[in-house]
Structure 1
Amino acid sequence: MKHPYLNEDHEIFRQSLRKFLEKEAYPFYEQWEEARMIPRAFWKKMGGQGFLCPDIDERFGGSEVDWGFAVVINEELERVGSGLVGFGLHNDIVVPYITSYGTEEQKQRWLPKCVTGDIITAIAMTEPGTGSDLANIKTTAKLEGDHYIVNGQKTFITNGIQSDLVVVAVKTDLQVVPKHKGVSLLVIERDTPGFSRGRKLNKVGLHCQDTAELIFEDCKVPKENLLGEEGKGFLYLMEKLQQERLLVAIGAQTSSEVMLKMTLDYVKSREAFGKPVGQFQNTQFKMVEMATDIEMGRAFLDQLIAEHIEGKNVVTKVSMAKWKLTEIAKKIASECMQLHGGYGYMEEYEIARRFRDIPVSSIYAGTNEIMKTIIAKNLGL
């Protein structure tokens, strides 16, 4: 399907990226899954080809292209595997905090290396005792002279092991009411004293994507690393979470499309009782139902992306897309595995990996239950 917001330049870019991934990613993806890590060398290769942060200003090394190029990158990476989600996080979630709220000095210091892959970024919001309730985070940052002293712990951090730069949500005011006005954002660099990594978390899926705990013990962060203004961190997070949730929806939709195609190929070739499985009515009905859900999801998503690129307020629709498309993807993963029969449960078949990888999409970037709460509020309920 041709996306209405993409033009010939985007398609040329897609073919270039796809050719790159066919050489540098597809042949090695299973190795990365087994190693539970994507090599930093691949990050450098992505940067060297212009596939990291292409939308930022040319003076910082970017190409100043529109967000349609980001859509292409995220779709093509998802086609390789969901474990490459850390690149979307870097390009379209973390770096935009710096471009939107960073000072000129901060941009000059960090952005060029984000483009080349010399700096890998992460964002740290979730804590062991705090998930969606960001106003009640416990990690504190106390200003002492020209440094903040940070204490606390974060968990489920994407790019947690390899990250060189982490945007951390902290409490700089414990007394203010309402509580969310006490949240600020600090950028904490790899070798900052008092900053350490906990264990690399062992997940059900997304095996090659490094996810970790981060620990801050009297961590001494220069006050120049405050991102934006004190007390506005919660507002910044709410503004940027819309694009993050849109990325999750794009990943879920793309994964559904990939799973449908691989299953269609399988049922056409796999025979039972003397004919292809695809000729049985039950199989046909299941395939028809999935194909219809996917087509309707794509139409809604493409309209939503176009509105986002135009700068429209898409909070309600983003929440709808994140919720619905991830639920559809989970259902399709289950149906496609079933249609693969016993082979679907074997690791050498890609559908098994997709079945493991997709469930977390309904949890991160705000659970689907939170999405429904947002939609209900915006409906006036």
Structure 2
Amino acid sequence: MIARDLFEEKKELRALVRDFTTKEIVPHLSQWERDGEIPRELHEKAAAIGLLAIGFSDGDLLDSVVLTEEIIQAGGSSGVIAALFTHGIAVPHIWQSGNEDLIERFAKPAIRGEKIGSLAVTEPGAGSDVASIRTKAVRDGDHYVVNGSKTFITSGCRADFVTTAVRTGGDGYQGISLLVVEDGFTRRRLDKMGWHCSDTAELHFDDVRVPARNLVGEENAGFVQIMRQFQVERITMAVEAYATAQRALDLTAEWVRNRETFGKPLVKRQVVSHKLAEMAQRIDLARTYAREVAVRVHRGEDVITEVCFAKNAAVDACSFAVDAAVQLHGGMGYMRESEVERHYRDARILGIGGGASEVMTELAARRLGFA
């Protein structure tokens, strides 16, 4: 069965997600953008119909792909996904550790919509270079004492717990661990170009005492845990990119069919119809490839290079599509009341988050023996 069939057959899930998005997200999204965050009640509502459990106690990566596609293509946004499904990057390390205590205290409450989790890896001086993080955790009896800072932390303002990358050993990747921090740190809200409904924070740890039982996995084994989950995060961002591009195309096609200039619809002008065709071509190529790679990730194959290609290709398609969408909407495309304006802003982070496009290219080059 080809990848397309694996995704298209999930009709019931698509219908469920589309209905949820139409009723619970779309009518409120503009207000959440102004508020700077989504309400906790949305987590509870999503959990009640099983959406937060997808990829954990229910469903798998392929279901997560469908979930992401449908939220965006039903009128949601990548910003909503970042805020509502932050547990998708905060919880996997805990879930896979098999530590029942951590799973009961953090993972399951997040899946039930009772707690909000964040993942804190990036630092002011260490973004994609995870091996260079400097936030330290020193063992002191039954606790670790944590000092340092994290930045660009999604849901960091609302988080009840933060799965935090800390240095428990020497320099380099071998000295990194993951520690769940619940309180004792300070937060500063950050303002962003896009993803306005997804709160983002800078976190400061000043002699924060964290119980040693909050260690995720083995000490100094955090780098491998982080890298393993990066593949899922990156393929998910590729999905967000091509889904956003498709939504931008759908909105634009409707607009140019209904908008008349000089006596005929815009779509009847060759320069416009050709632009739509190019958008569709780039989107379909990115979607087809990314879905195929998602299937291979799901199967546990070593596809690090292909994940890099998928993310970059989808981001490129998205950048082209949202720019064309705003242009073809004309002045309305520049207005906040226009959905394509939101997608234009939100899309910019997709080539930065989860590993910048340049980092993806460098990683692929190394894997291919070119660098």
On whether the aligned pair clears a TM of 0.5, the verdict is yes
Counterparts of 1:371 and 1:89, CA distance in 2:
23
Aligned residues between the structures: 367
CA deviation profile, 1:32-75 (whole Å, cap 9, x unmatched): 0111110001111111111102333xxxxx33x23222112222
**Partner residue of 2:178 out of 171, 180, 185:** 185
Q: Is the 8 A contact 2:120 2:153 kept in 1?
A: yes
SS at match of 2:23: helix
- In structure 1, the residue matched to 2:208 is 219
Counterparts of 2:21 and 2:279, CA distance in 1:
27
Counterparts of 2:90 and 2:5, CA distance in 1:
27
Greater CA drift, 323-332 or 361-370: 323-332
SS at match of 2:5: coil
Counterparts of 1:91 and 1:302, CA distance in 2:
22
**Partner residue of 2:64 out of 39, 53, 70:** 70
Query: Aligned runs of 1:68-217 on 2, under 5 Å?
Result: 68-79=62-73, 80-86=76-82, 89-174=85-170, 176=171, 179-189=172-182, 192=183, 194-198=184-188, 200-217=189-206
Deviation at 1:111, TM superposition (A): 2.5
Q: Is the 8 A contact 2:176 2:220 kept in 1?
A: yes
Unmatched runs of 5 consecutive residues or more in structure 2: none
Q: Is the 8 A contact 1:122 1:167 kept in 2?
A: yes
- In structure 1, the residue matched to 2:321 is 332
Counterparts of 1:7 and 1:283, CA distance in 2:
29
Which amino acid in 1 is paired with 2:190? L
Counterparts of 1:87 and 1:116, CA distance in 2:
15
Counterparts of 1:3 and 1:26, CA distance in 2:
27
SS at match of 1:5: helix
CA deviation profile, 1:67-90 (whole Å, cap 9, x unmatched): 222112222222311211325753
Instruction: Report the TM-score, using the length of structure 1 for normalisation.
Output: 0.93
Which amino acid in 1 is paired with 2:312? W
Deviation at 1:113, TM superposition (A): 0.8
- In structure 2, the residue matched to 1:360 is 349
Counterparts of 1:36 and 1:169, CA distance in 2:
26
SS at match of 2:7: coil
Deviation at 1:297, TM superposition (A): 1.2
SS at match of 2:354: coil
Unmatched runs of 5 consecutive residues or more in structure 1: 57-61
SS at match of 1:305: helix
Counterparts of 2:187 and 2:88, CA distance in 1:
24
Q: Is the 8 A contact 1:98 1:106 kept in 2?
A: yes
Counterparts of 1:217 and 1:235, CA distance in 2:
26
1:242 aligns with 2:245: no
Instruction: Report the TM-score, using the length of structure 2 for normalisation.
Output: 0.95
- In structure 2, the residue matched to 1:254 is 243
1:13 aligns with 2:13: yes
Q: Is the 8 A contact 2:248 2:340 kept in 1?
A: yes
CA deviation profile, 1:173-218 (whole Å, cap 9, x unmatched): 23x5xx11111110111xx3x31212x1110111010001111110
SS at match of 2:139: strand
Counterparts of 1:274 and 1:54, CA distance in 2:
50
Counterparts of 2:124 and 2:109, CA distance in 1:
31
SS at match of 2:202: strand
Counterparts of 1:55 and 1:287, CA distance in 2:
34
Q: Is the 8 A contact 1:195 1:215 kept in 2?
A: yes
Counterparts of 1:362 and 1:239, CA distance in 2:
20
Deviation at 1:91, TM superposition (A): 4.5
